[in-house]
Amino acid sequence: MIVPATAENVVRAAQALAAGELVAFPTETVYGLGANARDAAALGRLFATKGRPTEHPVIVHLADAAALPRWAKTVPAGASALARAFWPGPLTLILPRADGVLDAVTGGQASVGLRVPSQPVAHALLEALAALGCDGIAAPSANRFGQISATTAGHVAEEFGDAIALILDGGPSHHGIESTIVDFSRGDPVVLRPGSITVDELARVLGAPPRSAGAGATRASGTLASHYAPRTPAKLLPRRELLAAIAGLGGANAHISVLAHSVAQPPEFEGAWFDAPGESAGYAQQLYANLRALDAREADEIWIEAPPDGPDWVAIGDRLRRATHRD
């Protein structure tokens, strides 16, 4: 059930989490599907509901960095610096896990993913849960495994129907794509997933650019080749190829849906045409809503204008490549 994120409903949601139930909640990146991170049975329900393989680790959301020592065994200097610079915010740190962190959270790995979200509802929920003696919410993105992430409460309801007791509605997510993930558990920092905090911004704080992981380097589901994927076959086309492909259809184009950000809809195009913002922040904010709307048109194919180059488009390009990947 979708409920507005009033103070009363936030307390209700915290009580539900403390009682072992699942609650969906807004964050500044995407909506999360949350469970008490110290409750193995609740984590079992979380994986079952999401349809996610149990060896895939989930991120633990914390009210503030003061909780770090309860979750991480050691915090390297670079990780502390990033936490100071970007928390609360869209950054996940992978750190050696502290004793007592459940295997269900880490997928049995020796590391744990931690993030302090900035979204006020998420923060209020974490504080309300802390008042009940629970110090972390394990939350993957609130979508079924491999599907498009949710950036509104309505998207969460589309994904899960009545399978989640409570969906806190805090409005559309501000960033629209998932957090930047930086792994400090194996030595030098490695970016496992690009996000709205760019490699340049990380480098400024770290004093040197972190490495970027190749796909499949760790068990990070957001790094699978196919992910965030619409059901309709989708492909990426550079601007000129997109225009040529549309011209090549000779007017028989109603079975194609297009997501463009610089190309204007040609007069002869009769399929569904979506104009995305031409700047990266707006494009990212609307990306998953656009992919969902495109998918709902049930066209034969989705054609997406390839994004520009540039550091602020890296995360968008990453998500679009995975959304359009076909084996």
Q: What does the binding site for ligand TXA look like in residue numbers (CB under 6 A)?
A: 27, 29-30, 32, 56-59, 90, 92, 94, 106, 109, 111-113, 115, 139-141, 178-179, 181, 192, 218-223
Which residues touch 10 (CB under 8 Å, ≥6 apart)? 121, 124, 125, 128, 168
Enter the DSSP assignment of 308: P
Separation between Cα atoms, residue 37 and residue 212, nearest integer Å: 28
User: Residue number with the shortest CB distance to Mg ion?
Assistant: 141
Q: Which does 316 bind (CB under 5 to 8 A by kind): ligand TXA, Mg ion, none?
A: none
Minimum CB–partner distance for residue 123 and Mg ion (Å): 21
Q: Which is nearer to ligand TXA, 54 or 80 (CB)?
A: 54
Least CB distance from residue 156 to ligand TXA, whole Å?
11
CB of 209 to ligand TXA, least distance (A): 20
Nearer of residues 134 and 213 to ligand TXA, judged by Cβ? 213
> To which H or E segment does residue 191 belong?
strand 190-193
* 150 Rama sector, left if φ>0, alpha if ψ -120 to 50, beta otherwise: beta
List beta partners, residue 3: 168
The option from ligand TXA, Mg ion, none interacting with 144 (CB < 5 to 8 A, set by class) reads none
CB of 263 to ligand TXA, least distance (A): 30
Partner from ligand TXA, Mg ion, none binding residue 89, C-beta < 5-8 Å depending on class: none
Residue closer to ligand TXA (CB basis): 222 or 230? 222
Q: How far is CA 260 from CA 184, 196, 276, 291, 319, in A?
A: 37, 20, 6, 12, 15
b/e map of 236-275 (b: 16 or more CB within 10 Å)?
Answer: bbeeeebbebbeeeeeebeebbbbbbebeeeeebebbbbe
With CB cut-offs between 5 and 8 Å by kind, which of ligand TXA, Mg ion, none does residue 324 bind? none
- Binding partner of 26, given Mg ion, ligand TXA, none, CB within 5-8 angstroms per partner class: none
- 286: helix, strand or coil: helix
Interacting partner of 112 out of ligand TXA, Mg ion, none (Cβ under 5 to 8 A depending on kind): ligand TXA
DSSP H helical ranges for the chain: 7-18, 40-50, 68-71, 77-86, 103-106, 120-131, 153-160, 199-206, 239-248, 280-296, 314-323
Q: Given phi > 0 = left and psi -120 to 50 = alpha, else beta, which region is 19?
A: alpha
| 140 or 271: CB nearest ligand TXA | 140
To ligand TXA, the closest distance from the beta carbon of 199 in angstroms equals 17
Instruction: Name the residue among 133, 132, 169, 166 with its Cα closest to residue 153.
Output: 169
Residue 229 interacting partner from Mg ion, ligand TXA, none (CB closer than 5 to 8 Å by kind): none
24 vs 242 by CB, closer to Mg ion: 24
Please report how close the Cβ of residue 175 comes to ligand TXA at its closest, in angstroms.
8
Select 37 or 237, whichever has its Cβ closest to ligand TXA: 37
Q: What is the closest distance, in whole angstroms, from the C-beta atom of residue 187 to ligand TXA in the complex?
A: 14
All residues at 6 or more sequence positions from 250 whose CB lies less than 8 Å from its CB, including other chains: none
Q: Give the binding site for Mg ion (CB under 5 A).
A: 141
